[in-house]
């Protein structure tokens, strides 16, 4: 069987969706499925030089719709060579043109849409997205509803995502829905070089406990409320009879510090004497430095306002690390059920309660959370079970 994955961007700098596609391709390949990817990246992009995947980069598409004149003729020429097409993500040219090219074909491949959280109602109600929400309503009416409702089926990473997809737009009438999960590969075995690489990027935390945030520095991720809750915990701890003598440092790793929001985060840190000495920004971490940050942390934290899956959350679980997350991370029920972390609301108060519950836990309780974290990964997020579900869905 040959599967074509169609996506806006495969550049790792763009985050979760392209990483999810890489994992899906790896899982399906283990079942002898031939996978190819077509994207709107610039063919001159450096990441393509050593990428192990077969990627047809048909950009550049440096415009709001990610339009490229190269994609439509490529699809017309090549879709006949595939049994299945999976559209990854919505609201861009690639989903529109796949539907347009394939809708009148006699022997067209099965077309699936994997929204990757892009039908989440958060994007319609977020305060800073009012104009985009109106745009989405119009775009849905004229274009995207046809992509979704004409597809052979929709593929979701978890049950929570599937439920939420029913809420924001009408008419929403997909022919079929499949919860296929999303497997995450096992992390590489721990090696001293990983710690060396991480401490080279973040020397301030060497010989200190720390909590790790590893994601884009973006308003959606709740970085501001994390800092406020962290400072609040420190202030309350100072007054407590059961004082925690050493509060773990906080590492905020990821791209985005140069944005307007990132600068506001730096300003928030700079104004606080406590935060200035306890919060560190090593930038985007890759390879050994990334895994060193995971293996060395006391816990992973992500108080996001919306997170469809959270690959970094699952990577932390795989490294035996408790995860401290909001209940807007769509896999929170699996984590809460497995007792592999602490869950609360995506507010300052909710994040404070997460930190307090974890940091005030005994050593035994933290060790139990760590063991549960790994078990949670193996039960819900390993690659092979997710790949089997995907294979069953697309061959249904």
pLDDT digits (tens, 9 = 90+) for 81-91: 999 999 999 99
Q: Would you say residue 70 has pLDDT above 90?
A: yes
Q: Would you say residue 242 has pLDDT above 80?
A: no
What pLDDT, in 10s, does the model give residues 36-68?
Answer: 999 999 999 999 998 999 999 999 998 999 999
Token readout for 90 is 């919505």
Q: Radius of gyration (Cα) for the chain, nearest Å?
A: 22
CA atoms within 13 A on the CB side of 22: 16
Q: Would you say residue 14 has pLDDT above 90?
A: no
Q: Would you say residue 372 has pLDDT above 90?
A: yes
Crossing angle for the helix pair 260-270 and 223-239, to the nearest 10 degrees? 10
Q: How far apart are CA 327 and CA 318, in angstroms?
A: 20
Residues 161, 115 contacting (CB under 8 angstroms): yes
Establish whether the linkage from the previous residue to 54 is cis, with ω within 30° of 0: no
In the prediction, which pLDDT does 364 show? 96
Kindly report the pTM of this predicted structure.
Answer: 0.87
How many residues are recorded in the chain? 396
Domains contained in the chain, CATH given: 2-179 (3.40.50.2000), 192-380 (3.40.50.2000)
What percent of the chain clears pLDDT 90, i.e. is strictly above it?
91
Going by pLDDT thresholds of 50, 70 and 90, the confidence category of residue 245 is low
Q: What is the rounded average pLDDT for all residues in the chain?
A: 95
Going by pLDDT thresholds of 50, 70 and 90, the confidence category of residue 13 is confident
Q: Would you say residue 243 has pLDDT above 80?
A: no
**What single DSSP character describes residue 190?**
P
Q: Would you say residue 152 has pLDDT above 90?
A: yes
Token readout for 247 is 């509060």
In the prediction, which pLDDT does 241 show? 64
Of 25, 325, 31, nearest in space to 182 by CA: 25
Q: Would you say residue 315 has pLDDT above 80?
A: yes
Token readout for 323 is 């995860």
User: Residue 118's Cα: distance from chain center in Å?
Assistant: 12
Q: How far apart are CA 333 and CA 163, in angstroms?
A: 13
Token readout for 164 is 């939420």
Q: What is the DSSP string of 255-302?
A: S-TTSHHHHHHHHHHHT-HHHHHHEE------HHHHHHHHHH-SEEEE
What pLDDT, in 10s, does the model give residues 108-141?
Answer: 899 999 999 999 999 999 888 999 999 999 999 9
Q: How far apart are CA 228 and CA 225, in angstroms?
A: 5
Cα distances (angstroms) measured from residue 190 to each of 213, 270, 278, 291, 321: 20, 34, 26, 8, 13
In the prediction, which pLDDT does 104 show? 83
Q: How far apart are CA 142 and CA 232, in angstroms?
A: 47
Q: Would you say residue 393 has pLDDT above 80?
A: yes
**Average pLDDT score over residue span 219-225:** 96
């Amino acid at each position: 069987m040959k599967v074509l994955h169609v996506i806006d961007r495969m550049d790792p700098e763009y985050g979760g969706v392209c990483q999810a596609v890489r994992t899906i391709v790896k899982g399906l390949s283990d079942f002898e499925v031939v996978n190819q990817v077509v994207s709107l990246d610039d063919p001159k992009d450096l990441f393509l030089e050593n990428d192990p995947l077969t990627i047809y980069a048909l950009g550049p598409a440096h415009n709001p719709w990610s339009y490229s004149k190269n994609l439509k003729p490529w699809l017309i020429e090549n879709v006949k060579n595939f049994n299945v097409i999976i559209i990854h993500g919505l609201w861009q040219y690639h989903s529109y043109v796949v539907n347009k090219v394939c809708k009148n074909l006699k022997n067209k491949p099965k077309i699936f849409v994997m929204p990757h959280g892009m039908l989440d109602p958060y994007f319609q109600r977020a305060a800073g997205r009012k104009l985009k929400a109106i745009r989405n309503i119009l775009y849905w009416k004229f274009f995207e509803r046809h992509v979704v409702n004409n597809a052979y089926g929709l593929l979701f990473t978890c049950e929570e995502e599937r439920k939420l997809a029913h809420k924001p737009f009408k008419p929403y009438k997909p022919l079929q829905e499949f919860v296929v999960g999303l497997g995450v590969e096992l992390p590489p075995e721990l090696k001293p070089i990983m710690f060396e690489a991480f401490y080279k990027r973040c020397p301030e935390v060497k010989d200190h406990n720390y909590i790790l945030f590893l994601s884009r520095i973006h308003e959606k991720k709740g970085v501001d409320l994390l800092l406020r809750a962290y400072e609040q915990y420190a202030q309350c701890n100072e007054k407590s009879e059961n004082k925690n003598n050493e509060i773990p440092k906080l590492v905020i790793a990821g791209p985005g510090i140069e944005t307007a929001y990132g600068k506001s985060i730096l300003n928030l840190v700079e104004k606080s004497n406590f935060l200035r000495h306890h919060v560190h920004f090593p930038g985007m971490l890759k390879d050994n430095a990334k895994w060193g940050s995971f293996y060395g942390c006391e816990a992973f934290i992500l108080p996001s306002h919306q997170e469809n899956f959270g690959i970094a959350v699952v990577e932390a679980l795989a490294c035996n690390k408790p995860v401290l997350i909001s209940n807007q991370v769509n896999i929170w029920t699996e984590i809460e059920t497995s007792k592999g972390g602490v869950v609360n609301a995506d507010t300052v108060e909710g994040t404070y309660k997460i930190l307090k519950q974890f940091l005030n836990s005994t050593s035994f309780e933290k060790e139990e959370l760590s063991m549960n974290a790994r078990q949670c990964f193996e039960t819900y997020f390993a690659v092979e079970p997710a790949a089997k579900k995907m294979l069953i869905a697309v061959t249904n």
